[in-house]
Chain A
């Protein structure tokens, strides 16, 4: 079996060469055949989601994905992949839950919809009762060996939890505070990130996680730090419109605040990635996406106000500065009109109470102080 160190190397090498799964599968298949690792049972629950992460995962470069499924992971329950339907399929989930506690991996895709006890999101039917997403995720999650949230919605709420969040959606960690959730964020998550995390779990257990619970091996560095246009940024050469070949910072690139390895891994079988086709990174892997990252073409998020309006941050800044200038100008004019400025300046700048008046003594170059009435 390959060592963890070699595995981590393959993660990077596979990213650069674009054949991550191809590199990783043969040694793993061997290890399974030799009985060194067991096939990890996996179940996936989809809650408030567009199923984009499944689509993304299915796009992992074949034939290796099927290899992985047949050799390394025991893919048991997944709406997209199920070979059976109805109670039969649901029975597999229940069976995994009952017979393999602390053994299976739970993958959650989609936001946790909390409004009205979660009844806007039904994911199962048991004994004549509709089961909500949060209920099922909590139940299955508490007995899982690992809980992996994939995609922005399952990790941090994502678009489903976008302002004003009418369904009170949130990420899986919030409804499973008892245990650690491994976050594989992204909108969608990259197939390599999902599969790489699962393989790490199968082989070496939990990967090292970063500040927001994401595996460091994929989310350890900002997009900005590895961006091929970084030299443009450092020299201050910026694109003024989307579509130009310079650094896209000025048109809202969120690379500096976004942790992911897109610049080296890229997308669609490493064919291209946003910055490669001259559009800014929109920060899809970060908590708070999309609200904190939109408008995608501006640097800072708009500020939501009660009532559903959003105001651009820069406009608010300019507005505040405008008000200050108006206020100061108004005060200057009024103070000049009322004579306050003149009075204050005279009062505080002259050293004496009044200008001393001098009287020249007759015949001498001598001066006497004139008596005045002022004090």
Chain B
């Protein structure tokens, strides 16, 4: 049922005052949002072109040198967005993406919640421990994949020690493929949880603001 009545200002105020939940606060600064969507789009391109490089789909019949160029260009974009986020974190002294012992301690309880053994998730800092672990692992494997990508890009001219360390080109490929699989397995989990746990967080990733209940004492 939709009400489209015009209300007097004092009444509106009154409604807001004693009825609105929590307050609107900024939770995702602009740079975080730019990073998030820029990185997400780049990663989609990187992974889909990477999989194409892995096993060309016949029905697509894409120009392969362009696929490789797209793969590399978007990798640079992604690294750029990551650098933005990193600088932003340094400036704001933001450690919300770094897992701490405290977060890890909550992890079993969080799992209990996901397996319906608890009715509510344990308290958390900005992100819950599960998300935090996924995000953090993403940064690590992304940097690893980019580094290996760079090594394969240079064809053994630079970063020779990397080739020796992993045991050659075929291993570089293999590790990158596995990293792609890791992304492909965890990204859906991330999307699923963002859509079903707290939708206002998703809104915050777009507008920057989220409505948060007042802190209980």
Contact = CB atoms under 8 A, between A and B. Distances in A.
Contacts of B64: 233-236
Nearest to B185: A324
Contacts of A235: 63-64
A335 interface: yes
Nearest to B65: A234
Given A250-B56, A257-B170, A348 B14 contact: no
Contacts of B185: 320-321, 323-324
A373 interface: no
A313 B64 CA distance: 22
Contacts of A254: 170
Interface in A319-342: 320-321, 323-325, 327-328, 331-332, 334-335, 338, 340-341
B5 A353 contact: no
Nearest to B211: A351
Given A211-B164, A234-B65, A313 B171 contact: no
Interface stretch (A97-105, A121-129, A199-207, A283-291): A283-291
Nearest to A249: B56
A226 B15 CA distance: 75
Main secondary structure of the interface of B (DSSP, over half): helix
Interface string A268-312: 000000000000000100111000110000011100000000000
Given A211-B160, A324-B189, A351-B21, A286 B61 contact: no
A344 B192 CA distance: 13
B12 to A, nearest CB: 10
Interface stretch (B123-131, B140-148, B173-181): B173-181
A34 interface: no
Given A320-B185, A367-B11, A300 B196 contact: no
B180 to A, nearest CB: 8
Contacts of B14: 369
A352 interface: yes
B198 A287 contact: no
A358 interface: yes
Given A321-B184, A345-B196, A351-B211, A313 B167 contact: no
Given A237-B61, A286-B168, A369 B160 contact: no
Given A288-B170, A345-B196, A353-B21, A299 B160 contact: no
A331 B114 contact: yes
Contacts of A300: 54, 170, 173-174, 177
Contacts of A5: none
Contact of B155 (A222, A236, A314, A320): A222
A317 B177 contact: yes
A349 interface: yes
Given A236-B62, A292-B168, A348 B198 contact: yes
B200 interface: yes
A236 B192 contact: no
A245 B211 CA distance: 62
B91 interface: no
28 contacts: A211-B160, A211-B163, A236-B60, A236-B61, A238-B56, A250-B55, A287-B168, A292-B170, A293-B170, A321-B184, A323-B185, A324-B185, A324-B189, A325-B188, A327-B189, A331-B114, A332-B192, A338-B116, A340-B116, A340-B196, A344-B196, A344-B197, A345-B199, A349-B200, A350-B21, A352-B19, A367-B8, A368-B11
Given A211-B156, A320-B184, A324-B189, 11 more contacts: A211-B164, A234-B64, A234-B65, A237-B61, A250-B55, A254-B170, A293-B170, A320-B185, A324-B185, A344-B196, A367-B7
Interface of A: 210-212, 222, 233-238, 240, 249-250, 254, 256-259, 283, 286-288, 292-293, 299-301, 313-314, 316-317, 320-321, 323-325, 327-328, 331-332, 334-335, 338, 340-341, 344-345, 348-354, 356, 358, 366-369
Interface of B: 3, 5, 7-8, 11, 14-15, 19-21, 54-56, 58, 60-65, 67, 114, 116, 155-156, 160, 163-164, 167-171, 173-174, 177-178, 181, 184-186, 188-189, 192, 196-201, 211
